[in-house]
Amino acid sequence: MKKQIQILINGKKIKAQEGDTIYEVAKRNNIEIPLLCFHPDLEIKANCRICAVELAEKRDLVASCSTRVKEGMEIITDSLKVKKARKINLELIFAQHKEECVDCVWRFNCQLLKLAKKYDVIINRFKDRKTRFPIYQFKNAIIFDSGKCIDCRNCVEVCHKQGVDFLELEEKKHLFHIVPSEKLNRDCVYCGQCIVHCPVGAFEGVGEFEDIEKPLKEKDKIVVAQFAPSIRTSLGEEFGLPYGEVVTGKITAALRKLGFNKVFDTSVGADFTTSEESKEVVERIKNNSLLPVLTSCCPAWVKFIEFFYPEFVPNLTTAKSPQSMLGGLIKTYWAKKENIDPKKIIVVSIMPCVAKKYEVEREEQLFDGLKPVDYILTTRELARLIMKNEIDFKKLKSENLDSAFGEPSGAGVIYGASGGVMESAFRTTYFRLTGKELKKVDFEEVRGIQGIKKAEVKIGPNCHKIAVVNGLGNAKKLLEEIKANPKEKYTCIEVMACPGGCIGGGGQPMPCYPEIRQKRAESLYDIDSKKKLRKAHENPIVKKIYSEFLDKDEKLRRSILHTYYHKKEKEGFTILDLNNK
């Protein structure tokens, strides 16, 4: 139990716990202290110095994010000295940050501009020193404009935390720069955590601003949208709705208003993924081969395995990701049903993720020479498209999905949170191995925000060890554990690259803090618990499409629903032409 103490903030008596930082106490008491380099996912670095406050005793300024309170401490958060320090340090920060406000991921929520206003900052007091700094692009997923970087180093830390270490510090002429690594054993996996941890928008998805309207300009095409499980509880944030608010029907309405001809739910794709994945699990358990089965619906995790741990490639399930399966079914089953030439269909996936941009360009995804999905828009990009078209999202009336793919099961919806794939697969695998339906479908052990969740599940006479991981750094830990201790046998391992799973993805609205992720996840579980249909294999549309279509042609089933993986060499980065942007 921590000791209770009393301190003074701006003359007001406040109770605090010994060991808390000044910032934590102030936040609990609704006293505003600005922050830039602080992020609750990361270590306290105290680099930016914007959170400076004054200690009355000696009139010293200290960083409130890193200074711990003591009994009787007297703190002033808004003295002239504090304001002056914040103003000048902000002016120095602006002088290293190229202002590109119009197409910035923080455009509507820019902390720097808010602070500039509050502290009378002259944003061009000093010459911008980074105007000629390079802009890097990591494949078709991420852009890093180092001219906007304020050297807080959050990206380097989060990249390290992800076990990737692609972003690193390099000293050039006595100045440290953040750069993508040239080392052959380091490569980006496109998880996008650098984007959601950068306070000033130096990172963004490729095409975040330039390409969002492209799919809707495809003339003479039928443009079909599908949206991921996790975005139904996050998109609302972009329009000021409470964290975790469920907006499924509004998303459907917005997509129709934008001009998409059909709107489907990727969660239905997830029900197919569960179905296929579960078949693979059953098969591998029976043959006792290629265990543990590793999930493969997260493209950043797949690339992580292919690049850093190729020895585990055979363990990845070959089942395609939900959006890819649904995309394939749209261009085959649905096209056939509607008598449309598949080449005339454009599928657009709204995803919480920038790695999905990479996934859809993989040639291993093709079937019959066709891409299952043509465009990826992130949650943020969809929000911007809605704003650009002046659609009042908050006021939209909920609409139903187009009926061709029915409704998803609850299992398909929880795919958006860490543990969801495992829980969903477990509900179905249990049935397939025992012939009995699970009575209690909630699988609490694999839910929640811990990085590594381990459980043992009894299916029939056998006990299976499983693990659910979120965050690639945790995945790395588990893989190393498995390598060091091969006797520890897991049957199944679910990995999501991002903290909390897709609800914390690199394409999601910002800020993206633990408590926000938790609300997004809770709402997904809430949707599931309220559904009658909670198991993928019971979904009538899944049954129907298998019996009418997929089960009739094994080769077709494999080409639409399965893919393959292989060891990857470094893909690295390119430097964009400055004049081109």
Q: State how far the alpha carbon of 453 is from the alpha carbons of 443, 448, 468, in Å.
A: 12, 9, 5
Residue from 49, 98, 331, 534 touching other proteins (CB under 8 A): that is 49
Question: Which of 151, 208 has the CB closer to other proteins?
Answer: 151
Sheet with 135-138, edge to edge strand ranges: 203-205, 142-145, 135-138, 574-576
Residue from 52, 281, 325, 472 touching other proteins (CB under 8 A): that is 52
Measured in whole angstroms, how far is the alpha carbon of residue 368 from the centre of its chain?
30
Q: Does 42 bind other proteins (CB under 8 A)?
A: no
Q: CA 466, CA 427: separation in Å to the nearest integer?
A: 14
Residue 559 corresponds to which amino acid?
Answer: S
Q: What is the CA radius of gyration of the chain?
A: 25
Question: Which of 127, 286 has the CB closer to other proteins?
Answer: 127
For the bound state, the minimum distance from the C-beta of residue 89 to other proteins, rounded and expressed in Å, comes to: 5
Question: Which of 202, 345 has the CB closer to other proteins?
Answer: 202
Question: Which of 48, 305 has the CB closer to other proteins?
Answer: 48
Continuous segment of H or E residues that includes residue 5: strand 4-9
Q: Which of residues 342-361 bind other proteins (CB under 8 A)?
A: none
Q: CA 280, CA 565: separation in Å to the nearest integer?
A: 16
The three-state secondary structure class of 409 is: coil
C-beta separation of 406 from 257 below 8 A: no
Q: State how far the alpha carbon of 68 is from the alpha carbons of 20, 73, 462, in Å.
A: 5, 10, 51
Question: Which of 163, 352 has the CB closer to other proteins?
Answer: 163
Other Cβ atoms less than 10 A from the Cβ of 116: the count is 18
Q: Does 2 bind other proteins (CB under 8 A)?
A: no
Question: Which of 86, 517 has the CB closer to other proteins?
Answer: 86
Q: CA 140, CA 190: separation in Å to the nearest integer?
A: 9
Question: Which of 48, 159 has the CB closer to other proteins?
Answer: 48
Q: Which of residues 126-145 bind other proteins (CB under 8 A)?
A: 126-127, 129
Question: Which of 67, 470 has the CB closer to other proteins?
Answer: 67
Judged by CB under 8 A, which stretch of 48-56, 212-220, 313-321, 454-462 contacts other proteins?
48-56
Closest alpha carbon to 292 in 445, 471, 495: 495
Provide DSSP, 200-241.
Answer: T--EEETTTTTSTTGGGG-TTSEEEEEE-GGGGGTGGGGGTP
Helix axes 379-388, 248-258, angle to 10 degrees: 50
Judged by CB under 8 A, which stretch of 22-30, 138-146, 168-176, 511-519 contacts other proteins?
168-176
Question: Which of 19, 259 has the CB closer to other proteins?
Answer: 19
Token pair, residue 272, equals 């197919």
Q: How many residues bind other proteins (CB under 8 A)?
A: 32
Residue entry with tokens 């996996």: 189
Judged by CB under 8 A, which stretch of 148-156, 236-244, 402-410, 490-498 contacts other proteins?
148-156
Beta-strand runs (E) in 429-577: 452-459, 462-470, 492-496, 574-576
Q: Does 116 bind other proteins (CB under 8 A)?
A: no
Measured in whole angstroms, how far is the alpha carbon of residue 5 from the centre of its chain?
39
Question: Which of 60, 210 has the CB closer to other proteins?
Answer: 60
Residue from 4, 18, 170, 176 touching other proteins (CB under 8 A): that is 176
For the bound state, the minimum distance from the C-beta of residue 66 to other proteins, rounded and expressed in Å, comes to: 5
Residue from 175, 287, 395, 484 touching other proteins (CB under 8 A): that is 175
Other Cβ atoms less than 10 A from the Cβ of 134: the count is 16
For the bound state, the minimum distance from the C-beta of residue 45 to other proteins, rounded and expressed in Å, comes to: 8
Q: Does 169 bind other proteins (CB under 8 A)?
A: yes
To 5 degrees, how large is the angle CA 561–CA 563–CA 568?
155
For the bound state, the minimum distance from the C-beta of residue 517 to other proteins, rounded and expressed in Å, comes to: 26
C-beta separation of 413 from 444 below 8 A: no
Residue from 17, 20, 24, 47 touching other proteins (CB under 8 A): that is 47
Measured in whole angstroms, how far is the alpha carbon of residue 39 from the centre of its chain?
16
Question: Which of 37, 104 has the CB closer to other proteins?
Answer: 37
Residue from 8, 42, 46, 55 touching other proteins (CB under 8 A): that is 46
Question: Which of 18, 551 has the CB closer to other proteins?
Answer: 18
Q: Is the dihedral of CA 377, 509, 229, 290 positive or negative?
A: positive
Q: Which of residues 53-112 bind other proteins (CB under 8 A)?
A: 60-61, 63, 66, 68, 81, 84-85, 88-89, 92-93, 95-96
| Strand 4-9 versus strand 12-17 pairing type | antiparallel
Q: CA 166, CA 181: separation in Å to the nearest integer?
A: 5
Measured in whole angstroms, how far is the alpha carbon of residue 410 from the centre of its chain?
20
For the bound state, the minimum distance from the C-beta of residue 64 to other proteins, rounded and expressed in Å, comes to: 12
Q: CA 502, CA 196: separation in Å to the nearest integer?
A: 13
C-beta separation of 226 from 326 below 8 A: yes
For the bound state, the minimum distance from the C-beta of residue 474 to other proteins, rounded and expressed in Å, comes to: 22
Instruction: Give Cβ neighbours of residue 88 (< 8 Å, ≥ 6 apart).
Output: none
For the bound state, the minimum distance from the C-beta of residue 15 to other proteins, rounded and expressed in Å, comes to: 22
For the bound state, the minimum distance from the C-beta of residue 575 to other proteins, rounded and expressed in Å, comes to: 22
Q: Does 123 bind other proteins (CB under 8 A)?
A: no
Question: Which of 150, 346 has the CB closer to other proteins?
Answer: 150
Question: Which of 51, 270 has the CB closer to other proteins?
Answer: 51
For the bound state, the minimum distance from the C-beta of residue 71 to other proteins, rounded and expressed in Å, comes to: 15
For the bound state, the minimum distance from the C-beta of residue 494 to other proteins, rounded and expressed in Å, comes to: 33
Continuous segment of H or E residues that includes residue 242: none
Question: Which of 171, 363 has the CB closer to other proteins?
Answer: 171
For the bound state, the minimum distance from the C-beta of residue 173 to other proteins, rounded and expressed in Å, comes to: 9
C-beta separation of 94 from 115 below 8 A: no
Judged by CB under 8 A, which stretch of 41-49, 295-303, 460-468, 553-561 contacts other proteins?
41-49
For the bound state, the minimum distance from the C-beta of residue 201 to other proteins, rounded and expressed in Å, comes to: 18
Which residues make up the interface to other proteins (CB under 8 A)?
A: 44-50, 52, 60-61, 63, 66, 68, 81, 84-85, 88-89, 92-93, 95-96, 126-127, 129, 150-151, 153, 169, 174-176
